[in-house]
Chain A
Amino acid sequence: MLELHGVTKRFGETLAIDKISFGCARGELVGIIGRSGAGKSTLLRLINRLTDPSEGRITWDGVDVSQLKGKALRRWRRRCAMIFQQFNLCPRLDVITNVLVGVVAERPLVTSLIKFFPAEDRARAILELDALDMAGAALQRAGTLSGGQQQRVAIARAMLQEPDLVLADEPVASLDPVNAEVVMEALQTICRERNLPVIINLHSLDIARRYCTRVVAMAKGAIVFDGPPTELTPAVLERVYAGGRAARLAEPPIVRAA
């Protein structure tokens, strides 16, 4: 189980994350919603330790991971797989090699350098791709695939890491509705079948309502709502997106010169 205890992150004067405490258990699919700049991406990056917290502790099954360094830090990153909005594949590498990047952290340096991966790794990679219906494209360059296909390759790469935890930062924001559904279903399946905690930043409330078992809403770096999607009432949303649409509607309309 992942737990955050009073985690704070400052960038200079700016307070990006303000004393956040929350936990996420195995099998939970948590959607994080909030306006741009509310701190959603920073939160994921803190958990994966791509950035360091200014204050507070992050623990996994009671073990503090916020102070890890060097090898132990890289092992923690391997255990919490990250999925990005822009997929972050290497477009010039073929699909199977992109997926095998998921095991590089655990393999010796020399064999990685010459792009050698044991048959067992290759078999795991192709099975992960097959589970996402992407086995046929294994030898194609990743850059030639569509957005939805690339995101599925990125998920296969994440699964090859054998993660304890999956973090996804706006994974469907640049996908069409059909591909968005394919990707969300894939993440849901992973969450259920492998009993992993999955934390997803989302812009779409509709997707959050349909797939998440729990929704956490952030505003100005703090959690303003934490509960099942059914409790996302207009009053809650007003608090989350306050100053956004609500405020803009209150502004005087722009008068155009005729």
Chain B
Amino acid sequence: MRSPPVEPAARSVVADFERDRRLFLRRRRWETLVGTLIFSGLLLVSFQHSQFFSSDIGGDPLGRIADFLGRMSPRLSPAALFSDRATQGSLASWLYDLPLWLKLGWQTVEMAILGTVVGVIGGLAASFLCARNLMPIPAVRFVVRRGLEMIRTVPEIILALILVAAFGVGPLAGIIALAISTTGSLGKLFSEINEQVDPRQLEAMDASGAGLVGKIRYGVVPQVLPNYASYALIRLEGNLAGAAALGIVGAGGIGIELQRAISYTEFDTYLAILVLMVGLIFVIDIVSEAIRHRLMRLGAAR
């Protein structure tokens, strides 16, 4: 190996460093080793309990998926594609209830938007209350954090079941369910964004005598608005899918039709509605991308 002539002093600098580095790595290696052992132990137990590798599934699961997909695909015939609803194999007979689906689909979008807006407001409020750099009282942070965790633990669908019992069948129950669970997840994400803001700007606000609200409005919000927007918009997409599922328990939206299609084994109808939902999500994603880029590029932040 080619090595340059090294002076004795330099050699000792290198040797000293290598010794420190070995000590440093050894200490770190212990931590890594213990962490890896605990984590892989948990993984093993989970695999074991869920019978991930060992369950006796029998038959041919992939074949059954293919079978199901086959039943979902509509029986269209090229000759009759544009005929009226009564003709077998026409598009109109596949999408026989399209106006109703579009109406319910739009209701689903409205539910998702309302649930997200209310949830974002709730999440913002919670996020300031549990961000370490903004809320000086540890007890408040603790209570808000645990509250958000409780919300996150309850699945949307269970919330919706309770709310349907309380408010009756219809979109209101669904909107409230979405708003609550959105608050739970966005509250945590927003508070983590708040904790990563540049402290120098907050220090300048402190130095100018600004209070907590002023600090949030002019020190935090302008910095993180695009990040808030990213999370809120991805949550909007999730809420659209969520709103579609909530209809199954009577909480409004397209879900009621999904439920009906399943119970009457109209799998091709099921596919039609799913395609409709995917289309809606595409639209929402394209619009939200445009909004987010506008927020990021605008000269002065709000």
Contacts and interface: CB of A to CB of B under 8 A. Distances in A.
A127 B16 CA distance: 11
Contacts of A232: none
B20 A127 contact: no
Contacts of B14: 122-123, 126-127
Contacts of A123: 14
B10 A127 contact: yes
A184 to B, nearest CB: 24
Contacts of B21: 96, 122, 138-139
A203 B10 CA distance: 36
Contact of A130 (B3, B13, B20, B24): B13
B18 A127 contact: no
B13 A135 contact: yes
Contacts of A120: 1, 3
Interface in B1-53: 1, 3, 10, 13-14, 16-18, 20-21, 24
Nearest to B21: A139
A139 B13 contact: no
Nearest to B12: A130
Contacts of A138: 17, 20-21
Interface residues of B, number: 11
Q: Give the most central of B13, B17, B20: most A CB within 10 Å.
A: B17
Contacts of A122: 14, 17-18, 21
A1 B263 CA distance: 81
A123 B7 CA distance: 13
B10 A130 contact: yes
Nearest to A119: B18
A7 to B, nearest CB: 30
Contacts of B20: 138-139
B113 to A, nearest CB: 38
A4 B13 CA distance: 41
Contacts of B1: 120
A139 B25 CA distance: 10
Interface string A113-157: 000000110110011001000010011000000000000000000
A139 B24 contact: yes
A228 B162 CA distance: 83
A135 B20 CA distance: 11
A96 B20 CA distance: 12
Nearest to A135: B13
A120 B16 CA distance: 15
A123 B13 CA distance: 9
A142 to B, nearest CB: 15
B32 to A, nearest CB: 13
A140 to B, nearest CB: 10
A127 B10 CA distance: 7
A130 B15 CA distance: 12
A119 B14 CA distance: 10
A161 to B, nearest CB: 17
18 contacts: A96-B17, A96-B21, A119-B18, A120-B1, A122-B17, A122-B18, A122-B21, A123-B14, A126-B13, A126-B17, A127-B10, A130-B10, A130-B13, A135-B17, A138-B21, A139-B20, A139-B21, A139-B24
Listed from nearest, the 9 A-B pairs whose CB atoms lie closest are A126-B17, A123-B14, A130-B13, A139-B24, A126-B14, A135-B13, A127-B10, A138-B17, A126-B13
